[in-house]
Amino acid sequence: MGLSLGELATIAGAELRGDPDRVIERVETLQDATAGAISFLANPQYRKFLAETAASAVIVAPGDVAHCHIDCLVSDNPYLAHARVTTALYPDRAVTAGVHPGAVVDSTAQVHPTAEVAANAYVGERAVIGEGVFVGPGCVVLEDCEIGSGSRLVAMATLGPRTRLGQRCLIHPGAVIGGDGFGLANDAGAWVKVPQIGRAWLGDDVEVGSCSSIDRGAIGNTVIDDGVKIDSQVHVAHNVTIGRHTAMAGCAGIAGSTHIGAYCTVAGGVGITGHVELADHVHVSGATAVTRSIKKPGVYTGTVPAMEHASWLKNFARLRHLDDMVRRLRQLEKEMATLRESTNKGT
């Protein structure tokens, strides 16, 4: 069942240009769209498909309206409008209240009557499952966990002991939240495990991608604040804190006790060493290695091929002085030119 363009315009917060009663049933790309579909144009490189699209409507920016020959929704942020429209046309599966006969729920656990615990899921001792929560097939929720209302564990996700999820969190398949951090003490060459007694604490509206892991704290908590979005195959070590509305792309790795501020972006493959701080509004480019605290907002990039560690330290120390060396070199060149000119005049 579709929605009218008028309804979608209201949902997207966009201006309607066209028939408000036109029914839209699905979302498709500009180049592949057919009648009954809506598409969007956010990236200028796809503008070439706008004139020939067979979509029934398109979401466009104000500057593209003149090039659009069909009904459109006009938005200053077409991609955001697309997200809202797609969410409306493709709603999540409704939660079916109840515990599946194939699930195991400990007698001391509290499962809200409106929550769903699917087949082969396990809910441990004293766990609290909130209103409208979905615990998907094969998920494991260990003792003393708390899951806030409206949160969804899609499938095969694991929450370690005393993990706390806020409201409306989305945890994708294979994610492990609240597992042991990598705490080891060395005893004459042998490793002795350090018990991890803290918690993993996630705020509201947090999303964690497939096969990502967020370790619980060694003593205090690992804290993921409201609105943080974590992609697949990301590792967040013990006692890390991540500020609200920060986004982190796939294969990033954050070492222990690092603090990442609010509204940051961490691109794919980034490595951040332990015990450093990133200020709010810091944006780290893909595959960058962050080995020191970043105190000022901005975009940061840097990759250096592997070499012997002692050589790397020396070279990096020189690299930090590169701008000063260039200025001094230019000054020397000017002085040499002046000296040559003076010498030529003397002869």
Active site members: 238
Q: Give the 3-state secondary structure of residue 303.
A: coil
Question: How far apart are alpha carbons 159 and 156 in whole angstroms?
Answer: 10
How far is the C-alpha of 51 from the C-alpha of 36, rounded, in Å?
17
Tokens of 55: 């979509």
DSSP bridge partners of 141: 123, 159
166 in Cβ contact with 204 (< 8 Å): yes
Pairwise CA distance, residues 229 & 104, whole Å: 30
Q: Is 325 helix (H, G, I), strand (E, B) or coil?
A: helix
Phi and psi for 266 in degrees, rounded to 5? Answer: -120, 115
Whose structure tokens read 């042991």? 180
Q: How far apart are CA 84 and CA 92, in angstroms?
A: 13
Q: Extract the tokens encoding 176.
A: 């492990």
Residue with tokens 């951040």: 272
What is the per-residue DSSP string for 60-72? E-GGGGGG--SEE
Do residues 127 and 144 touch, judged by C-beta distance below 8 A? yes
Residue owning tokens 């966009």: 14
Name residues whose C-beta falls within 8 Å of residue 42's C-beta, 6 or more positions apart in sequence. Answer: 61, 78, 79, 82
